[in-house]
Amino acid sequence: MFSISGFSVARATAFQRPTFQIPQLSNLGKRFTHEYAPRFKKVKKAQKGRVTVRTGGSTKGSTVQFGTYGLRLKSEGVRLKAIQLKEADNSIMRMMRPVGGQLWRRLSTGIAVCIKGNETRMGKGKGAFDHWMARVPTGKVIFEIAGENLHEQVAREAFRKAATKLPGLYEFIKVDTPVRVGLKHFIPKEEKINYFTEEKKNPSKVYLNKQQANDDIYKLYKNR
């Protein structure tokens, strides 16, 4: 009797299916590496368009903002593919990893490029999606790097290798490099102005009224 019950228990434990704990995956995806592609669920086709020519003197994105050294476009505006930026990214990171450097990517390829096959007749809609690209005007910073053990010569060599992967001509810049506003035109870097301090030097009537409103005698008659 005891042997039969023991055999049944042993048999049940021997043929019992193993249980595995399945980890609960989050519904929100997370990127562990940088990707030169937007998170669009539906690709929106776009016209070819033209690269912007900054005739109004805009200096947005033409200076080093995060790192110590930068790579800036000095020729006419170009269209950069995502795969071209990725190859330049890889060449820079090969030299940044040994010295512990950090890389900032200033561009995002958010324009869809659609193509058709060769010798295809006109009409019948736009072609299928092929790759992502970005329009880069003259004077735009592409990459920035920095690091405690990063030497300037190493940074120059890293950007030289990256420039060979990209179309157009590029230049090596620093934090104090003049701003490029054209193919041959530069302007000095604008200094940040503290408008609060300037207002104190030559206060206006509106500013004086706001300061007097904080006095105790005026607070007694507030919200009456």
- One domain for residues 124 and 148: yes
Is residue 16 within 8 A of residue 97, CB to CB? The reply is: no
- One domain for residues 177 and 201: no
- One domain for residues 120 and 78: yes
Domain count, the chain: 2
Which neighbouring-strand residues pair with 179? 187
The domain that holds 105 is classified in CATH as: 3.90.1170.10
- One domain for residues 64 and 122: yes
Give the model's pLDDT for residue 72. Answer: 97
- One domain for residues 186 and 198: no
| Domain extent for 197 | 193-223
pLDDT in tens, 23-34: 555 555 555 555
Q: Say if 13 falls within a structural domain.
A: no
Virtual CA dihedral for 172, 173, 174, 179, nearest 10 degrees?
180
pLDDT in tens, 152-176: 999 999 999 999 999 999 999 999 9
CA dist list (Å): 100 to 2, 119, 151: 69, 50, 11
Nearest alpha carbon to residue 62 among 53, 50, 72? 72
Is residue 168 within 8 A of residue 72, CB to CB? The reply is: no
**Mean pLDDT, to the nearest integer, of 117-145?**
93
- One domain for residues 95 and 109: yes
Decide: residue 87, CB within 10 A, 0-12 exposed, 13-18 middle, 19+ buried: middle
